[in-house]
Structure 1
């Protein structure tokens, strides 16, 4: 995750939170004490750049991985903790004020005495309602009710977002869904990891049903029914790699036309249940999924569908109920990720506050921690990266002038956003009580859903941020053609106003370039300067570009993550192109600076060496084996060790900086180096 923009966006790295730039500045921006200088950079640049740090920073018990992003998040979450605790303690904050609302939300979330007393009482009425359902129309009505109240999202995804071929208009959008495990493969494959996770899932289901009054035999029977339904839904889903194709997932229908393909799901009558009226068109990412679901409405018993709806309520509520439910939820997480101990409650609730009312908390965060000079410096860096990208596009030897003209027009149309939104969400109408934790979550879910569907018929709001201000991350939105950098990422190791240019360009410069490159990756390159899904390439240039993406995919396919598990080059393609294009653009921009044109060493390293070492230290980290195995199926980003080397091994400047020669393990012949953007 996580607050998400309703249109697709490509995000960099790990989603986490942040702190202020000044607070964490280290004595050395490139510290040899973190490196392993016994290793040749041409043999293992990852270990050379970060070997000692990796050795000295194992994964803490409450984490599943630990690296630069996590260290920032951990430092920052304490800053957020200070904000929410101060807000909760301030009894003088006026009713309805930002501080009072944040404080009340957090205080309710931390009221564990009340939460323990309630057990699962907050959802008893929801489970009782499901028991009263008599038929399939009742099942569908209730599925819509769960979605519109934010209680759960059974069967499929339902959202409002930009029409990718007419980005000035919002459309109702349907997508595949209905499953619980992280990827469809966990239902369909019989490797040892998948079997183990399915067994843990079965235990999780039976435990929660037992906690809500089912006998052991009943709970086991319910688990079997749920697994059978979810397996069928998984079989109908498109694979993640397939879902990366924006044309395959763009299927526009009239409501009447789509209803003919799914007679059991009459969308003319269904849409009003989802509080959508007056819409005659719908966008469907996977029509095949819905025809399969339509068939399941005939073949799956009403009793089993009721069990499935009960499960959706249970699994959504479990992390927010009393300890037995929270512990069962964590045991399931543990089986998937290997995490040793539960994240402390204060941390989970701080993050929940950010994820639920992030633009209220964000106002407190920005007021205390965001430095206006960081925005000024970022604006300058973005301008320099745009110039560098322009230089690189003009210099491409594989692209025709006709396509270059369109690429440059798209580059010039990029809209940068830095720090926080110009216009904050006010959350008008959202009721937050100091003693009603579950009701606060329910109110938030209902409010967020209503806010989403209320966009229909209105002009597209281009002021929105898809991430909260404290987030250590960045993203590119192809439909908005915007690059967005929340306040949280504007700190070391990405950015520090006191750092030399090599460090800032190898860090935040490469992040800026990465997000720009998403506009030109295998997916983003299919959108024009206005954000519409429309081809702007000559056929010949498209063929050349696809040959380069194929070569990059093969490079990453060869990287082994864990025993026989390899990086999936097609799944990670967009991020790998982002890294390759971004690091090249950042290097070109760096070479335009005074330091970039000098050979003056700092701490024994040349400017070029510092640039590449700054890049490498961003991606250092450790990860639990279970988490690594899960991420390789679900995360579109390559693992840190391969992000460290994936772009540099294709850059002549890296070879020169570290005197990498034939015979070194990472050496690629000049003619084999992939030169894209």
Structure 2
């Protein structure tokens, strides 16, 4: 690729400084949908200083086309003079551009010798109607032709267009950089009615999904004709087609859910229906509750508590051990249980779920038994006892309205008791910011401590459901008081409420996989619409949803074909180089960090050196080996007729695979993210950073991009994940992933001062709640991610370190920051934004941009921000983690 362009800044008084002639645009005739149709570039000097267009001094071209000239015929001499003038003007533009290139090089050399204090002057020329050259020129001096040609390829033009269309040049980047970098894109991409948020991450995810959809819907290429590939693609397409078959889903209605709930009820009730009182009866009730929970947990349904398999970070981070923790709840966070409006809505949803499941079960029993209404009623009353109302009975025509009203009232009352039960569980749970504290949540204990604290669960029988050959003798409890509180809550709750709680947890989790005409689907959809703020009844494209299900349930299988199509050539090597460059930049910067002493800096450098970098796709299962993939998914169905059962099969497979790691050493080649996902992560116990192929696509990555684009976009993601190794939680793990004090006390104290600074900074940010009020960002919850975002400076330094080796030897700082800022463009419903504040450890995207550059002085220098600008604060107000203040 030839030397690319820079974009002139269009905000008033803020020009993007450039030192070379740039290609800006060609007439676009083959532009992808979604791009703005506005001109690719406007003249930055066309506006007056106050932002109003001036007309008192017409340009030469305006005078040329003025009425006075237009009214008079041009003589041959006049035409000749005009042509000569035009040619001379074009030649002048070319020579000034050439002069500027060499002069910049001379000035750069002079700057290194301390003689670069003369301000440049900005000269702008319009060469043609479709190509605009913008250059910052010093005094002319002899020069040679530029070594690299201007890039006029379609790729360069499209990239230029995408950046320009993202900008809102009416904004001052020094005051509101997020809007400056993203305002154009945000206006061009209003929220779809079926989505609560949509941004650059979601847009790329859609593109990745479309690739997978094409793979699922077209014949396999000859390179994938092995028996294993046929098996894998058969599962993928069977799963996908079962999801697409809405007619069949509607025909089945509530039947799949009713059958599942019936199995759950039989496990929970066993042979006894009376309330336990004697020790033996209590033991029997515990056995039945244990069996019911094991059944749910093995299918991926949260209830009462949660187990996960992870390394023992206090002893051996690679030895996989059992972690006991609190469960997910029906509402997104504890705060929702304190809001009366949400509670009322949630109780209504639970009521609808209770009634719809009960009716479906009765219908299923009636069909299976083939009973008359009278005999069925007698049988079902026995089956449903101690359910607090008799069955509906009949086919619906002979059901009394008063009786139906009575059933609804009883169901509503029972839903209220379930809500009270869940509220108690929420109150007993840790707040999310504490749950992210690795020290507070590492509480190793003998298994007997858990069994004593929670005697209602027979844990050995529970474990046998997952790992019949391995019984742990040690467990990590994230919050020991929760087990004690749960035991007390269970003792104080009736059997019917516990059973109903298990049923509604099942219905909330599984009803999204029913047909949209099913009452349970509509009930849970109401909850989703209220909590996310999407338009009532707005449902997106079914194919998009089904591809998402394939990715979530069979992601590594789908990832094999996604990687083959998108992640070829040198992408993996180029992505890895960006990451390793940033690691080296971080190591170099350690000696200049004001709060870190030499001993801690050396240890931090060793940890950075030891980080395992994973790019593109995992090797366990091996994306390149179809036999590895087929073996990994050997338990998963692909029945084209049964979407619900396919989901359960995939969920069971995931759970059992996780439990099979118990007591073993960590698989260093395994990932938890599938290859097509648009995301990345740092795993502290493994000291590993992972970048799936899904995020190594534009607008985050392209191996042929100029370095300022590559390091500004993908580099910011890479630096974010690296910095997590040294954030408020990551810093507590050493280079082997073990929890221990490896910094000196002085360094830890210095870090905590910086941490307090960034917590305070982000806690002052607010969002609109959609009701006329403001909600503050939780600075404690988001501190780790905010520190991660501060790693942007490492990407900047990594780019500058190889700056002179780049063929783009110009001032590209502004485009570096624009490349960073524009990846966070997101439109979001206010209700969804509030939910994110309460549950998400990431700050709102606006503050991930503006809050980050607030603490990077190089940003203000790049944009020539005044000392009074919002994003150029005094140094004492900045939270600078990775340098001297």
Same fold at TM > 0.5: yes
- In structure 1, the partner of 2:447 is 255
Asked if structure 1 preserves the Cα contact closer than 8 Å seen for 2:689 and 2:722, the reply is: yes
Answer yes or no: is 1:489 the counterpart of 2:638.
no
Kindly tell me: are residues 406 and 87 of structure 1, through their superposed partners in 2, closer, same or farther at Cα, counting changes over 3 Å? farther
SS state at 1:519 partner: helix
Structure 1 alignment gaps of length 5 or more? 1-21
- In structure 1, the partner of 2:344 is 199
- 1:531-567 Cα offsets, whole Å, 9 max, x none, are 1111101111101000101101111111111132011
1:560-579 correspondence to structure 2 within 5 Å:
560-562=766-768, 563-579=773-789
- In structure 2, the partner of 1:544 is 750
- In structure 1, the partner of 2:526 is 331
- In structure 1, the partner of 2:464 is 272
SS state at 2:158 partner: coil
Deviation at 1:153, TM superposition (A): 2.1
Structure 1 residue aligned with 2:431, among 211, 225, 239? 239
Asked if structure 1 preserves the Cα contact closer than 8 Å seen for 2:724 and 2:788, the reply is: yes
The whole-number CA distance in structure 1 between the counterparts of 2:233 and 2:808 is 51
The whole-number CA distance in structure 2 between the counterparts of 1:406 and 1:494 is 31
The whole-number CA distance in structure 1 between the counterparts of 2:164 and 2:563 is 34
The whole-number CA distance in structure 1 between the counterparts of 2:555 and 2:493 is 40
- 1:66-122 Cα offsets, whole Å, 9 max, x none, are 221122122222212212223699999958621111111111222222211111211
Deviation at 1:354, TM superposition (A): 0.6
1:76-475 correspondence to structure 2 within 5 Å:
76-86=208-218, 97-132=231-266, 133=269, 134=273, 136-150=285-299, 152-165=301-314, 166-187=316-337, 189-190=338-339, 195-213=340-358, 215-275=407-467, 277-323=470-516, 324=518, 325-340=520-535, 341-424=538-621, 425=629, 426-475=632-681
Deviation at 1:500, TM superposition (A): 1.4
Structure 2 residue aligned with 1:525, among 718, 731, 755? 731
Kindly tell me: are residues 105 and 30 of structure 1, through their superposed partners in 2, closer, same or farther at Cα, counting changes over 3 Å? closer
Deviation at 1:649, TM superposition (A): 1.3
- In structure 1, the partner of 2:401 is none
- 1:512-536 Cα offsets, whole Å, 9 max, x none, are 1110000000000000000111110
Deviation at 1:319, TM superposition (A): 0.4
SS state at 2:159 partner: coil
SS state at 2:767 partner: strand
Scaled by the length of structure 2, the TM-score of the pair is 0.70
Structure 1 residue aligned with 2:822, among 617, 639, 652? 617
SS state at 1:172 partner: strand
Larger Rg: 2
Asked if structure 2 preserves the Cα contact closer than 8 Å seen for 1:184 and 1:234, the reply is: yes
Asked if structure 1 preserves the Cα contact closer than 8 Å seen for 2:237 and 2:638, the reply is: no
Deviation at 1:137, TM superposition (A): 1.4
SS state at 2:216 partner: helix
SS state at 2:172 partner: coil
Asked if structure 1 preserves the Cα contact closer than 8 Å seen for 2:454 and 2:483, the reply is: yes
Answer yes or no: is 1:28 the counterpart of 2:237.
no
Kindly tell me: are residues 454 and 595 of structure 1, through their superposed partners in 2, closer, same or farther at Cα, counting changes over 3 Å? same
Structure 2 alignment gaps of length 5 or more? 1-153, 277-284, 360-406, 622-628
The whole-number CA distance in structure 2 between the counterparts of 1:439 and 1:30 is 43
Kindly tell me: are residues 632 and 24 of structure 1, through their superposed partners in 2, closer, same or farther at Cα, counting changes over 3 Å? farther
The whole-number CA distance in structure 2 between the counterparts of 1:419 and 1:444 is 23
Deviation at 1:198, TM superposition (A): 2.3
Bigger mean CA deviation after superposition, 232-241 or 425-434: 425-434
Kindly tell me: are residues 311 and 126 of structure 1, through their superposed partners in 2, closer, same or farther at Cα, counting changes over 3 Å? same
Deviation at 1:52, TM superposition (A): 2.3
Bigger mean CA deviation after superposition, 258-267 or 626-635: 258-267
Deviation at 1:349, TM superposition (A): 1.3
Asked if structure 1 preserves the Cα contact closer than 8 Å seen for 2:680 and 2:695, the reply is: yes
The whole-number CA distance in structure 2 between the counterparts of 1:452 and 1:45 is 43
Asked if structure 1 preserves the Cα contact closer than 8 Å seen for 2:290 and 2:461, the reply is: no
Scaled by the length of structure 1, the TM-score of the pair is 0.91
- How many aligned positions are there? 646
Deviation at 1:210, TM superposition (A): 2.2
Answer yes or no: is 1:43 the counterpart of 2:175.
yes
- In structure 2, the partner of 1:17 is none
Asked if structure 1 preserves the Cα contact closer than 8 Å seen for 2:264 and 2:295, the reply is: no
The whole-number CA distance in structure 2 between the counterparts of 1:53 and 1:674 is 30
Asked if structure 2 preserves the Cα contact closer than 8 Å seen for 1:24 and 1:492, the reply is: no
Deviation at 1:222, TM superposition (A): 2.6
Superposed CA RMSD: 2.4
Q: Which has the higher contact order (CA 8 A, sep 6+)?
A: 1
